[in-house]
Amino acid sequence: MEMVLLTALGVGGATVIGAVLGFVFKKATHKFSDIVLAFAAGVMLSAAVIGLILPSMEYGGEYGIVVTVAGVFCGALCVNLIDKIVPHLHKIAGVSSDEEKHPRQNERLSKILLFVIAIAIHNIPEGIAAGVGFGTDNVGEALTIAFGIALQNIPEGMVIIGPMLAAGISRGRTFFIASMTGVVEILGTLLGYFAVSVSNTILPFALAFAGGTMLYVVSDEMIPETHAHGSERGATYSLIFGFLLMLVFDVLLG
């Protein structure tokens, strides 16, 4: 149990570490921000396909493809529905502005919060996946999964700091919101450990659902944002590098 707690804290803590690093680069130029965001998009694209969708098909058994397709679609649909209500979420961030006077600021803030929500959503099944390994006494596999998750959580934590600060969210609230995405993963790890039988049943759909949220956000939000300031070529190569880096980690940790 002690190892489970330490692993859960490590996985969630990686997001906090990334958030701290994000404060260092908070005044980055548009070009630098686009490059970092594109790198994170590549990491998440790789994580969605290799770490979430493919395992969903593997764990789904005879009906794996059906469960995976349904999960990906539901995940994308869920984020799309969140996108509809997200204009009202600026109140959660503690930023009040006149929508008529600052429509672009509110639109930018809404996209950033949508991005953060999607990260939090996809952290839940990842945490469950790590916890399930411990619940089945397969410690080696659990540690491998947790290490891979922690690696991708660092750039996730980094990339959300600068945009939130630029959107007018206070430093304290920014750090709190970023940290909460890590706390969600800690809870997911503990949930997976204490409910192995249940999580083994829902894990294929949960993984596919998480993958769907990531595919939606990468395509609908992250890639367009990184191509909006004249850094398309650098952003494209940065995305490819992020994708390949996670691919290499997957092979090394596999």
At residue 138, the 3 state secondary structure works out as coil
pLDDT tens for residues 192-251?
777 655 656 777 888 788 788 878 888 887 788 788 777 788 889 999 998 898 788 777
Rounded-to-integer distance, Cα 198 and Cα 231, Å: 46
Angle at 167 between CA 100 and CA 94, to 5 degrees: 80
Pick from 33-37, 86-90, 184-188: least confident? 86-90
Between residues 111 and 243, the one the model is more confident about: 243
Helix (H, G, I), strand (E, B), or coil: what is residue 215? helix
Mean pLDDT calculated for residue range 56-73: 89
Query: Two tokens at 10?
Result: 């490590």
pLDDT at site 72: 93
Query: What size, in residues, is the chain?
Result: 254
Radius of gyration of the chain (CA): 18
- Mean per-residue pLDDT, 164-189: 81
Answer for the pair 2, 176: CB distance below 8 angstroms, yes or no.
no
Q: Which residues of 163-180 are buried (b: 16+ CB within 10 A; e: fewer)?
A: bbbbbbbeeebbbebbbe
Contact residues for 23 (Cβ-Cβ < 8 A; gap 6+): 161, 171, 175
Stretch 156-172: mean pLDDT? 75
Beta carbons within 8 Å of 92's beta carbon, 6+ residues apart: 113
Query: Using an 8 Å Cβ cutoff, are 176 and 64 in contact?
Result: no
Q: In 86-219, which residue ranges form alpha helices assigned H by DSSP? A: 103-135, 139-159, 161-166, 171-194, 196-217
* Spatial contact of 160 and 36, defined as CB atoms under 8 Å apart: no
Amino acid at 37: L
- Lowest pLDDT segment from 134-148, 162-176, 184-198: 134-148
pLDDT computed for residue 176 by the predictor: 86
Judge whether residue 114 has pLDDT over 50.
yes
User: Phi, psi (5° rounding) for residue 130?
Assistant: -65, -40
Which has more pLDDT, 50 or 198?
Answer: 50
